[in-house]
């Protein structure tokens, strides 16, 4: 099969969907791989690295979108990219449902594309490999983001996360005990912060009490608990999301208004719409804004800050499923439950009930 890897066009997105060793595996399996010139530059993979493993470099973005039967991206296709795709093409990318518009989805549907949302790819045991790969990277970045924007010189409260004798640690509230939230809670706890982890799933909270190392305080996620905790929080991490629907708005404007001045909200659920009523997407070049006296960090593509590692992780997680799609027998690929769960459009028809209902 012809497989295309276009350059990502979202502002400050430096990841690439396939790294050279991933291309090498597909070429060895008999597939033709086309990579847009410069597509891997942001992650440290020049065109020459792709050429050495048998990829064909194409010069234009439109050509990269059209030359492959299977198009692989990290970010969701833009409206212009949707329009450039043709009936019968297969596309695999993240969907980021919370920031999609009806207009963009209608353009993609009208193109007659068969499309897979990589965040919906799920094994029978609940394992979501693409989500896990990016979430683990995001979890590792959250303590660094918190340290940066609590810094006095960046307008923060001037508070260290912890482990200074005689000095109280930062008070951190993490909403959502999934891979990002749980991982961030453990890492900030290991740095000495006082961490409370909230979720509406007691079993998920229980798992975090069974792990070694720093264990957060766990509480059920309720409006009462959120209102009480946010009043004294230095850092709030919003990490509650459902991948086939928009993220729940759990933090109201009134809750934000009651927070300490210059405290920090890191809304990592922003790519699915965000957990806070006051959240709106930002970019790496201007990542924060102040609303109700509280600093908001709402960058949707946090893994792009470590683009090489993130591209490696993305490629590793995606390859088994892309290899199935590349075999050319769509029915055989869809017989695999994990692949089928990722399908949301088939030749222009919605196949995911929740997504279809959301966009009418």
For residue 211, what pLDDT is reported? Answer: 73
Structure confidence by residue, pLDDT tens digits, 9-60: 988 999 999 999 999 999 999 999 999 999 999 999 999 999 999 999 999 9
Q: How far apart are CA 118 and CA 128, in angstroms?
A: 9
Indicate whether 189 pLDDT > 80. yes
For the segment 223-275, what is each residue's pLDDT rounded down to a tens digit?
999 999 999 999 999 999 877 788 999 999 999 999 999 999 999 999 889 99
Tell me what percent of the residues of the chain surpass a pLDDT of 90.
83
Q: How far is CA 8 from CA 129, 159, 334, in A?
A: 21, 37, 27
Neighbours of 53 (CB within 10 A): 18
d(CA 352, CA 242): 14
Token pair in block for residue 201: 């799933």
**Cα distance between residue 345 and residue 356, in whole Å:** 9
175 three-class SS:
strand
pLDDT for the residue numbered 243: 73
Give the chain's domains with CATH numbers: 2-120+306-358 (3.40.50.720), 134-300 (3.40.50.720)
Handedness of CA 42, 44, 48, 51 (dihedral sign): negative
Position 219 pLDDT exceeds 80: yes
Q: Decide: 34 and 58 in contact? Cβ < 8 Å.
A: yes
Q: What is the largest CA-CA distance in the chain?
A: 65
Looking at every residue in the chain, the average pLDDT score rounds to 93
Q: From residue 264, how far is each of 104, 139, 303, 330, 337 by CA, in Å?
A: 32, 16, 20, 46, 40
DSSP classification of residue 283: B
Q: Does 97 have pLDDT greater than 80? A: no
């Amino acid at each position: 099969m012809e497989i295309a890897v276009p350059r990502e066009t979202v502002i400050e997105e430096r990841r690439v969907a396939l790294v050279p060793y991933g291309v090498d595996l597909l070429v060895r399996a008999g597939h033709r791989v086309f990579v847009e010139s410069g597509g891997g530059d942001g992650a440290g993979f020049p065109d020459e690295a792709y050429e050495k493993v048998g990829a064909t470099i194409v010069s234009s973005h439109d050509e990269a979108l059209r030359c492959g039967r299977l198009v692989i991206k990290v970010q969701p296709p833009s409206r212009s990219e949707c329009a450039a795709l043709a009936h019968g093409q297969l596309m695999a990318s993240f969907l980021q449902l919370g920031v999609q518009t009806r207009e963009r989805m209608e353009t993609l549907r009208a193109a007659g594309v068969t499309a897979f949302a990589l965040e919906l790819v799920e094994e029978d045991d609940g394992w979501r490999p693409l989500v896990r790969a990016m979430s683990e990277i995001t979890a590792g970045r959250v303590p660094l983001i918190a340290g940066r924007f609590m810094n006095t010189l960046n307008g923060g409260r001037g508070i260290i996360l912890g482990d200074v004798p005689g000095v109280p640690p930062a008070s951190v509230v993490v909403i959502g005990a999934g891979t990002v939230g749980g991982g961030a809670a453990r890492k900030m706890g290991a740095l000495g912060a006082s961490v409370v982890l909230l979720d509406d799933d007691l079993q998920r909270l229980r798992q975090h009490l069974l792990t070694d190392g720093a264990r957060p305080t766990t509480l059920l996620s309720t409006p009462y608990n959120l209102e009480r905790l946010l009043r004294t929080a230095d850092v709030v991490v919003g990490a509650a999301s459902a991948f086939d629907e928009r993220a729940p708005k759990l933090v109201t404007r009134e809750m934000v208004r009651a927070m300490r001045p210059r405290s920090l909200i890191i809304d990592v659920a922003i790519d699915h719409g965000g957990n806070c009523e006051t959240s709106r997407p930002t970019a790496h070049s201007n990542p924060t804004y102040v609303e109700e006296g509280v600093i908001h960090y709402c960058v949707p593509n946090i893994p792009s800050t470590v683009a090489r590692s993130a591209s490696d992780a993305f490629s590793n997680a995606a390859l088994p499923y892309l290899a199935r799609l590349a075999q050319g027998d769509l029915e055989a690929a869809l017989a695999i439950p994990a692949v089928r769960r990722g399908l949301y459009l088939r030749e222009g028809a919605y196949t995911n009930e929740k997504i279809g209902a959301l966009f009418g």
